[in-house]
């Protein structure tokens, strides 16, 4: 166990005492959203994000519906999620090195174009293996896109405006996460696989907008050749930085537990609606024998599947709407709410949401619990993003983001791969509720070890290289 996490809390207390910086509250001017709106480059980036996020929102729902429709297999569905995640482990860290070496703008444009082209091929794929190849390419492009974008935002806005800027970015993301699922399920029911062409166009529009944005790159020695050796050296430097920064190490550990729990439970919502909720309705209220329902009545089964698809979209939309409220609330009231409380409540809310499936809730209950979870998770997300950006300088930010993503995605791949098998073995409900219990236990332990996330109030010792 990392030496920062001793139960006594002495090491964490020592870090807080010796490395924190006093802040003169009188001289600090609270940033406003109006200042962010005046930043033309960020607003262009936000407009490009609108199209990219809408494509993402529709694609995330459509790919699950498509795979589940042609296979009716939870294992196949989670396999595709795992395949999309693999590039974050294999390619993500290298993409971070390039994000700190070459034009971040060029990387983002190229990644959008690759995603747009790859998605165009999906409607012609009926084999799970062909879909897996396309999913891997899309995941690789996404991993390449995220590192330069995440690294560039603090440079475009400045650290002082970062929380407000990320709040607006999350607002766009979550708004389209609300709209996307509401459109995605009906679009997919009408157009089936042709829905992917809509998402492809969104990525091409995003690439076009990025062309007109001034995106700063990392300050590096341009004369140094980019060789295999320099790539390995840069990658090593990124890892060393993450291992030495105590706050970043705490965040990595916390996200590790969070991803393990959510990766096990998250993909099972659609199977829960179809196999637990609607299977039970068919057998109980329509008095249809289970063997008849599953085998001899495909038309009736297809109708229930469409209802499950629509409810899946509604639940995703409500959770995203809650996240919008949480993002805006924390962006405006950060000093009142506080980062430690936002992190704690967000972690507990996610755990409680998945644990609630033990009681096999109906649609209304899922919507209410999901809405509350979305609000608290929105606050959690902003607090974590701000902490990471403040503690990682621009020179290593691309590598830091990509290495952390790769580290977290390792656990995601394992959990996605095992989730379907576990659900088929012990049941969807037990798997989802067990994930909630796991998250609740690990959240309690981290809360005790860090003395209620006191590290979240520590100001970075040196922000000169990333502040504007």
The DSSP code for 259 is: H
Tokens representing 19 are 């490395």
Q: What are the Cα distances from residue 449, in Å, to 248, 438, 455, 457?
A: 15, 17, 11, 15
Cα separation, 338 vs 24, in Å, equals: 17
* pLDDT score of 112: 93
pLDDT value, residue 16: 33
Q: How far apart are CA 264 and CA 248, in angstroms?
A: 24
Q: Which residue has the higher pLDDT, 338 or 187?
A: 338
Q: Are 21 and 461 in contact (CB under 8 A)?
A: yes
pLDDT band for position 18 (cuts 50, 70, 90): very low
Residue found by looking up tokens 């799970």 in the block: 128
CB of 186 closer than 8 Å to CB of 58: no
Question: Count of CB atoms within 10 A of residue 14's CB?
Answer: 11
Given a cut of 50, whether residue 2 has pLDDT beyond it is no
Question: In angstroms, rounded to a whole number, what is the distance separating the alpha carbons of residues 468 and 466?
Answer: 7
Cβ neighbors of 213 (< 8 A, separation 6 or more) are: 41, 44, 45, 48, 105
Task: Tell me what percent of the residues of the chain surpass a pLDDT of 70.
Answer: 81
Per-residue confidence at 126, pLDDT binned at 50, 70, 90?
confident
d(CA 284, CA 323): 35
Quote the Cα angle for 383-395-33, to 5°: 40
Question: Does 227 score more than 80 pLDDT?
Answer: no
Could you give the 3-state DSSP secondary structure of residue 11?
A: helix
Would you state the pLDDT for residue 12? 33
The answer, yes or no, to whether residue 354 has pLDDT greater than 90, is yes
Which structural domains are found in the chain, ordered by start?
Answer: 3-18+32-216+228-457 (1.20.1250.20)
Query: Does 165 have pLDDT greater than 50?
Result: yes
Q: How confident is the model at residue 348 (pLDDT cuts 50, 70, 90)?
A: very high
Q: pLDDT tens digits for 416-439?
A: 778 878 887 888 889 999 999 999
In 10 A of CB 291, how many CB atoms?
9
pLDDT grade for 171, boundaries at 50, 70 and 90: confident
Query: CB count, 10 Å around CB of 10?
Result: 9
Confidence band of 284 (pLDDT split at 50, 70, 90): very low
Measure the CA–CA gap between 444 and 259, rounded to whole angstroms.
16
d(CA 186, CA 365): 23
pLDDT reported for residue 219: 57
Which DSSP string corresponds to 167-230?
HHHHHHHHHHHHHHHHHHHHHHHHHGGGHHHHHHHHHHHHHHHHTT---------TTS---HHH
Contacts of residue 252, defined as CB under 8 A and 6 or more positions apart, other chains included, come to: 242, 404, 407, 408
How large is the C-alpha radius of gyration of the chain? 22
pLDDT band at 450 (very low <50, low <70, confident <90, very high): confident
Contacts of 144 (CB under 8 A, 6+ apart): 91, 92, 95, 98, 107, 110, 111, 114
């Amino acid at each position: 166990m990392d030496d920062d996490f001793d139960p006594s809390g002495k090491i964490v207390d020592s870090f807080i005492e010796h490395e924190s910086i006093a802040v003169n509250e009188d001289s600090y001017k609270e940033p406003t959203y109006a200042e962010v709106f005046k930043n033309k480059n960020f607003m262009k980036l936000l407009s490009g994000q609108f199209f990219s996020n809408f494509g993402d929102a529709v694609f995330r729902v459509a790919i699950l519906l498509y795979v589940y429709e042609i296979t009716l297999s939870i294992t196949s569905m989670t396999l595709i999620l795992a395949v999309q995640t693999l590039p974050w482990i294999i390619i993500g860290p290298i993409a971070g090195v390039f994000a700190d070496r070459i034009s971040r703008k060029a990387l983002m444009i190229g990644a959008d174009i690759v995603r747009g082209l790859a998605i165009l091929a999906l409607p012609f794929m009926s084999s799970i293996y062909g879909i897996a190849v396309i999913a891997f390419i899309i995941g690789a492009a996404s991993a390449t896109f995220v590192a330069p974008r995440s690294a560039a935002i603090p440079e475009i806005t400045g650290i002082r405006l970062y929380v407000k800027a990320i709040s607006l970015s999350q607002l766009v993301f979550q708004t389209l996460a609300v709209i996307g699922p509401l459109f995605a399920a009906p679009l997919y029911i009408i157009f089936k696989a042709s829905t992917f062409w809509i998402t492809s166009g969104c990525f091409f529009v995003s690439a076009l907008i990025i062309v007109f944005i001034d995106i700063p790159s990392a300050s590096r020695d341009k004369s140094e050749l980019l060789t295999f050796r320099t790539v390995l050296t840069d990658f090593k430097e990124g890892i060393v930085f993450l291992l030495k920064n105590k706050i970043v190490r705490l965040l990595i550990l916390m996200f590790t537990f969070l991803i393990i729990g959510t990766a096990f439970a998250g993909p099972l919502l659609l199977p829960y609606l179809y196999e637990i909720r609607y299977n039970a309705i068919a057998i109980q209220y329509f008095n249809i024998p289970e063997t008849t329902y599953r085998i001899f009545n495909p038309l009736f089964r297809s109708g229930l599947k469409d209802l499950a698809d629509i409810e899946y979209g509604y639940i995703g939309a409500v959770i995203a709407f809650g996240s919008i409220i949480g993002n805006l609330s924390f962006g405006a009231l950060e000093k009142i709410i506080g980062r430690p409380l936002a992190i704690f409540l967000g972690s507990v809310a996610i755990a409680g949401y998945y644990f609630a499936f033990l009681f096999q809730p109906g649609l209304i209950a899922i919507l209410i619990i999901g809405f509350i979870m979305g609000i608290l998770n929105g606050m959690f997300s902003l607090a974590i993003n701000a902490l990471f950006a403040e503690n990682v300088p621009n020179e290593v930010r691309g590598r830091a983001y990509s290495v952390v993503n790769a580290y977290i995605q390792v656990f995601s791949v394992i959990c996605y791969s095992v989730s379907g098998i576990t659900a088929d073995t012990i049941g969807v409900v037990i798997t989802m509720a067990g994930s909630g219990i796991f998250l609740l236990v690990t959240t309690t332990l981290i809360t005790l070890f860090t003395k209620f996330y006191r590290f979240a109030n520590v100001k970075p010792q040196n922000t000169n290289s990333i502040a504007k």
